């Protein structure tokens, strides 16, 4: 039997599954089903990426051992795929002993062939977070905690990536479809052409990882460990090399450069194809944990089911490009294409067969025109699916459905049934048969995309064999047997009322976020309040460093004539003479209330004139929209002139 092996990335366990992970995994499973339909013996693997310092720390934060923590989150992924009806054949975790064994084998093969050496690694290290900060320069702050990084040198194992530049370029040349789509291939080629430097593949500063054989001060670092799951997942099954690695675009370099180089170094076979898809945006905004706008799949599942989501992702997003996700759009697609489109056609056709032909598919060859269009649609769908252009494939099928819709109107069966002439009855047979046959073909083709709903339609059509037993090559116009009794059934795609469904999804999403945050030990964020100003644009520590905030002592305070908002202050910042500062706090503070107070002043603002008085700084106060300012102060005593940073 022909075999097909495809993979999704293995996901980090620092967060539970979100819609991005769901996207890749749903697409992968659709491809797996599509290949099964072509008679392949298919294996689809996914899994979790569980090592590293960050995971160790996340575990500590919730009082768990790293293993307990990763068990928990890996369980979240496995359960999510199960609940979303995504059939996974092998789920590989980087903490699995079979995986550890494979990583060590890969290392030893690379070492034996002379592609691994010991060298010294120098990087910027954050002592507090116990992490290297990639691409940081000496003195740069840690992006996590903001403390200055230190330059640290340690002994590492290096992989001789630089030795593979020519071989990699030859690979992309000889196998133009090794990296897809074309835009990613070009990106990879130009990256390799710009020169490759050797890669540090171990760390002595990390404990939670796979130890390097015979040198267990070191553990393997990120990609050498993670990529090897693609092999360990099918170890002993004679499945390697993979036919397809499906990934997101942000990890294309690791897959298309590091991975083949590791394998070449070991002398092991290379995967056949890597396809890097685009990113899903939420309401046209980049999703991120820090923005708090991640969308999770389970609330969608609960409100509208997994298949409307899957259909949306495949139909709406051009595979390979970025695409948008919104709750409204998922429901709009569902109502237009599935409820009003396919679902309505099925219901109408079956009801006419029941009413006009006693529930039996009439004997007929069908309309030659519709048959011709159906053949074209099968071919176009097939072509689209083969090159992973799911939206194109589905579009072709929906054109066939709209042709059928128009044909039913033209034939007008409700008129034909009233005409006893044999030609009219023959015409009625023709259109009813054609309709049922288009539905059978569309249902069979859509099996990989909508496995559960198509199984229902299949049963309603009264098909004797199981849907899964239909193979693509055997699918032809005219196979539907005349005389077959159609089954009973309720609408497969009932219409969804958008407003309440969207509201419910937002509500469940908030609950799911709180549940997941609790798992990883994050306190729930306070509910957003409408009177709180939106967060300003992110700045770097350097931007912040430009603002000079000082502790000042208010020496005098007077009302500004003609203004009920302004106070004129003299503030000592520890300089030669006090600053003159005009502050808009008169509505909240009487002059005597601020006299002698220690306040915070923005000391390097360009001076400006207010009501003829020079203001040489700004006083810092908290305020809500429309509320009174509240001056910032200190609980402990602080020296005048101290800088805030």
Query: At closest approach, how far in Å is the CB of 296 from ligand ME8?
Result: 12
CB atoms within 10 A of CB 493: 25
Between 226 and 619, whose beta carbon lies closer to ligand ME8?
226
Strands 613-615, 608-610: pairing is: antiparallel
227 and 259 Cβ atoms separated by less than 8 Å: yes
Q: How far apart are CB 163 and ligand ME8 at their closest, in Å? A: 22
**Distance separating alpha carbons of residues 280 and 458, to the nearest angstrom:** 32
Instruction: Indicate whether 248 belongs to the interface with ligand ME8 (CB under 6 A).
Output: yes
Q: Name the residue nearer to ligand ME8 (CB basis): 198 or 322.
A: 322
Distance CA 184, CA 279 (A): 13
Q: How far is the CB of 170 from ligand ME8 (least distance, A)?
A: 24
Given the complex with ligand ME8, which of 115 and 275 has the nearer CB atom? 275
x-or-dash pattern for ligand ME8, window 405-444, by CB under 6 A? ----------------------------------------
- Closest approach, Cβ 225 to ligand ME8, in A, equals 9
Which residues on adjacent β-strands are paired with residue 122?
153
Q: CB-wise, 296 or 568, nearer to ligand ME8?
A: 296
Does 9 bind ligand ME8 (CB under 6 A)? Our answer is yes
- Enumerate residues 6+ apart whose C-beta is below 8 A from 379: none
- Which CB sits closer to ligand ME8, 24 or 180? 24
Contact status: 12 vs ligand ME8 (CB under 6 A): yes
Measured between alpha carbons, how far is 176 from 185 in angstroms, rounded to an integer?
A: 8
Tell me if 308 sits within 8 A of 329, measured CB to CB.
Answer: no
Region from 161-169, 247-255, 420-428, 453-461 binding ligand ME8, contact rule CB under 6 A: 247-255
Which residues neighbour 117 within 8 Å (Cβ) at sequence distance 6 or greater?
157, 158, 160
**Applying CB under 6 A, does 20 fall inside the site for ligand ME8?**
yes
How many residues bind ligand ME8, per CB under 6 A?
18
Give me the residue whose beta carbon is nearest to ligand ME8. 20
Q: Would you count residue 49 as binding ligand ME8 (CB under 6 A)? A: yes
Q: Does 24 bind ligand ME8 (CB under 6 A)?
A: yes
* DSSP symbols for 532-595: SPPPPPP--HHHHHT--EEEEEEEEEEEPTT-SS-EEEEEE-SSSSPEEEEES-TTT--HHHHT
- Which listed residue (4, 5, 11, 334) binds ligand ME8 by CB under 6 A? 11
- What lies within 8 Å, CB to CB, of 311 at 6+ separation is 333, 334, 337, 338, 394, 449, 450
Q: Which is nearer to ligand ME8, 229 or 616 (CB)?
A: 229
Residues 179, 274: contact at Cβ < 8 Å? yes
- Cβ-based nearer residue to ligand ME8, 268 or 279: 279
In the chain, count H helices and then E strands: 22, 26
The CA-CA-CA angle for residues 421, 423, 426, to 5°, reads: 115
Nearer to ligand ME8, 23 or 477 (CB): 23
Q: Which residues pair with 133 in a beta bridge?
A: 124
Residue 106: CB minimum distance to ligand ME8, A: 13
The only residue of 5, 6, 16, 21 in contact with ligand ME8, by rule CB under 6 A: 21
Least distance in angstroms from the C-beta of 224 to ligand ME8 = 10
The residues in 269-328 that bind ligand ME8, with binding defined as CB under 6 A, are: 279-280, 287
Task: Give me the least distance between CB of 12 and ligand ME8, in Å please.
Answer: 4
Give the Cα separation of 53 and 51 in Å (integer).
Answer: 7
* Six token digits for residue 332: 């709009």
Give the binding range for ligand ME8 (CB under 6 A) out of 207-215, 243-251, 452-460, 578-586.
Answer: 243-251
Q: Look at the chain and count its residues.
A: 645
Candidate ranges 19-27, 80-88, 302-310, 364-372; the one touching ligand ME8 (CB under 6 A): 19-27
Question: Any idea of the CA torsion for 509, 511, 516, 522, to the nearest 10 degrees?
Answer: 120
* Site map (CB under 6 A) of ligand ME8, residues 215-234, x = contact: -----------xx-------
**By CB under 6 A, what part of segment 600-619 binds ligand ME8?**
none
Q: Which residues bind ligand ME8 (CB under 6 A)?
A: 9-12, 20-21, 23-24, 49, 226-227, 247-248, 250-251, 279-280, 287
């Amino acid at each position: 039997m022909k075999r097909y092996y495809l993979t999704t990335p293995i996901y980090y366990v620092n967060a539970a599954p979100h819609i991005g992970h769901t996207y890749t995994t749903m697409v992968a499973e659709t491809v797996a089903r599509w290949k099964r339909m072509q008679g392949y013996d298919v294996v689809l693997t996914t899994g979790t990426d569980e090592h590293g310092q960050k995971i160790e720390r996340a575990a500590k934060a919730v009082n768990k051992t790293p293993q307990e923590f990763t068990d928990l989150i890996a369980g979240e992924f496995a359960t999510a795929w199960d609940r979303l009806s995504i059939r996974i054949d092998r789920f590989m975790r980087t903490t699995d002993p079979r995986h550890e064994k494979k990583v060590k084998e890969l290392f030893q093969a690379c070492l034996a062939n002379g592609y691994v050496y010991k060298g010294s690694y120098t990087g910027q290290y954050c002592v507090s977070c116990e992490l290297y900060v990639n691409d940081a320069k000496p003195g740069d702050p840690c992006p996590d905690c903001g403390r200055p990084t230190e330059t640290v040198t340690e002994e590492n194992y290096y992989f001789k990536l630089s030795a593979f530049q020519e071989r990699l370029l030859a690979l992309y040349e000889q196998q133009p479809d090794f990296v897809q789509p074309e835009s990613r291939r070009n990106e990879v080629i130009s990256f390799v052409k710009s020169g490759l430097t050797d890669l540090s593949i171990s760390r002595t500063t990390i404990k939670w990882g796979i130890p390097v054989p015979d040198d267990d001060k070191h553990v393997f670092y990120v990609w050498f460990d993670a990529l090897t799951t693609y092999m360990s997942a099918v170890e002993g099954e004679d499945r390697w090399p993979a036919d397809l690695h499906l990934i997101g675009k942000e990890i294309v370099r690791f897959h298309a450069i590091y991975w083949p180089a590791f394998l070449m170094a070991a002398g092991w076979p290379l995967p056949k194809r890597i396809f890097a898809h685009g990113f899903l945006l939420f309401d046209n905004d980049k999703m991120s944990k820090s923005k708090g706008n991640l969308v999770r799949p389970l609330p969608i599942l609960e409100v509208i089911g997994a298949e409307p989501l899957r259909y949306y992702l495949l139909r709406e997003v051009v595979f390979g490009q970025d695409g948008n996700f919104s709750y409204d759009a998922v429901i709009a697609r569902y109502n237009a294409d599935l409820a009003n489109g396919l679902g309505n056609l099925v219901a109408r056709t079956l009801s006419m067969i029941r009413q006009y032909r006693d529930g039996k598919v009439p004997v007929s060859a069908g309309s030659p025109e519709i048959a011709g269009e159906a053949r074209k649609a099968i071919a176009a769908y097939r072509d689209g699916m083969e090159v992973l252009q799911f939206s194109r494939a589905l579009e072709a099928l929906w054109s066939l459905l709209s042709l059928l819709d128009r044909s039913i109107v033209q034939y007008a069966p409700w008129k034909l049934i009233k005409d006893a002439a044999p030609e009219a009855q023959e015409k009625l047979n023709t259109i009813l048969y054609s309709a049922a046959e288009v539905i059978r073909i569309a249902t069979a083709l859509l099996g990989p995309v909508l496995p559960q709903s198509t199984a229902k339609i299949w049963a309603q059509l009264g098909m004797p064999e199981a849907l899964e037993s239909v193979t693509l090559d055997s699918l032809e116009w005219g196979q539907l047997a005349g005389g077959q009794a159609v089954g009973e059934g309720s609408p497969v795609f009932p219409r969804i009322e958008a407003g309440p469904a969207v509201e419910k999804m937002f509500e469940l999403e908030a609950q799911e976020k709180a549940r997941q945050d609790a798992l990883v030990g994050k306190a729930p964020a306070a509910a957003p309040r409408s009177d709180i100003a939106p967060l300003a644009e992110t700045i770097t520590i350097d931007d912040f460093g430009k603002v000079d905030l000082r502790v000042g002592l208010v020496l005098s305070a007077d009302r500004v004539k003609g203004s009920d908002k302004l106070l004129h202050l003299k503030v000592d910042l520890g300089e030669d003479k006090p600053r003159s500062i005009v502050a808009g706090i008169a509505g909240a503070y009487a002059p005597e209330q601020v006299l002698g107070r220690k306040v915070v002043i923005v000391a390097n603002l360009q001076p400006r004139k207010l009501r003829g008085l020079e203001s040489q700084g700004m006083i810092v106060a908290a305020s809500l929209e429309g509320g009174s300012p509240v001056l910032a102060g200190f609980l402990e005593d602080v020296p005048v002139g101290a800088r805030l940073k």
